[in-house]
Amino acid sequence: MATFVLVPGGWKGSWSYEAVVPLLERAGHTVHALTLTGLWPDDDIATVATANLDTHADDVVRLLDRARIAGATLVGHSYGGMVIAAAADRAGGRISRLVHLDAYVPQDGESCWSSTNEHFRQVFAAGAASTGYTVRPPGDGDPRRRPHPLASFLQTVRLTGAHAQVARREFVYCSGWEDRTPFTELRNRLRADPEWQVHDLPTGHDAMHEAPDAVAALLLAEGAPDTPPNT
């Protein structure tokens, strides 16, 4: 049986996977859904203000240490793709699979800010105007969302290349919001890379809520990608 570590995207906590977790557990797997530092309702100002990408990668590694996990499947949604890449790079070979669920797939020296599109850079900038250290949740959405530590969006990731040794790496492209998605170019690049499996889901960005059964089915699949690489 697999061990899944589920990392949420910006502004969200473990609750963002609430519809997917029971589907994985029902199949007999162990599941850890995380809330990252600075996103807990009772985190104090200093914790939120100082949390960055390194902090969040360390959240994942600490879980691996505490639960003595090896052979983990890391799943990162949106900003969480930055986190799982950084965590896998420093996890000492304890990761067997990476799933970037409509998520950033960074290269060394990139940040969420540099990897996203102008729409989301404006969201980050406008959202940080009130405090200067957090980004308020954009628009209307789940009331459980929290202001997100700005430093985690801005910090560049440092990767040694160890993350690229993970045997199974997958990218899930959600095609239902193509007017705003920052991931179209990334999808096309990864489709041409034989080291990646690429899947398409006809949902909006919040696939875990819109199509939890489809997300769980992808995570439980053991076969080839449903979107073949370009040749």
Residue 77 host element (H or E): strand 72-77
For residue 140, what is the domain's CATH number?
3.40.50.1820
- The number of distinct structural domains making up the chain is 1
Q: What is the mean pLDDT of residues 167-193?
A: 97
The predicted pLDDT at position 226 comes to: 41
Q: For residue 170, give every residue at least 6 positions away whose Cβ sits within 8 Å of its Cβ, in sequence order, or none.
A: 97, 98, 99, 100, 196, 197, 198, 199, 218, 225
pTM of the model: 0.95
The predicted pLDDT at position 120 comes to: 97
Residue with tokens 């949740």: 137
User: Which phi and psi (to 5°) does residue 41 adopt?
Assistant: -60, -30
Q: Would you say residue 176 lies in a domain? A: yes
Is residue 116 a contact partner of residue 104, using CB atoms and an 8 Å limit? yes
Q: Would you say residue 225 lies in a domain? A: no
Its domain, for residue 126, covers: 3-220
Q: Would you say residue 227 lies in a domain? A: no
Q: Would you say residue 49 lies in a domain? A: yes
Q: What is the mean pLDDT of residues 78-90?
A: 98
Question: At 36, is the pLDDT very low, low, confident or very high (cuts 50, 70, 90)?
Answer: very high
Q: Would you say residue 190 lies in a domain? A: yes
* % pLDDT > 90, the chain: 94
Q: Would you say residue 195 lies in a domain? A: yes
Q: What is the mean pLDDT of residues 159-183?
A: 97
Q: Would you say residue 209 lies in a domain? A: yes
Question: At 222, is the pLDDT very low, low, confident or very high (cuts 50, 70, 90)?
Answer: confident
Q: Would you say residue 231 lies in a domain? A: no
Identify which of 1, 7, 8, 59 has the alpha carbon closest to the alpha carbon of residue 30: 1
What angle, rounded to 10 degrees, do the helices at 80-89 and 53-66 form?
60
* pLDDT over threshold 90, residue 230: no
Phi-psi map region of 83: left, alpha, beta (phi>0 left; psi -120 to 50 alpha): alpha
* pLDDT over threshold 70, residue 90: yes
Question: At 224, is the pLDDT very low, low, confident or very high (cuts 50, 70, 90)?
Answer: very low
Relative to beta strand 196-201, strand 168-174 is parallel
**Buried-state track 42-55, b at ≥16 Cβ within 10 A, e below 16:** ebeeeebbebbbbb
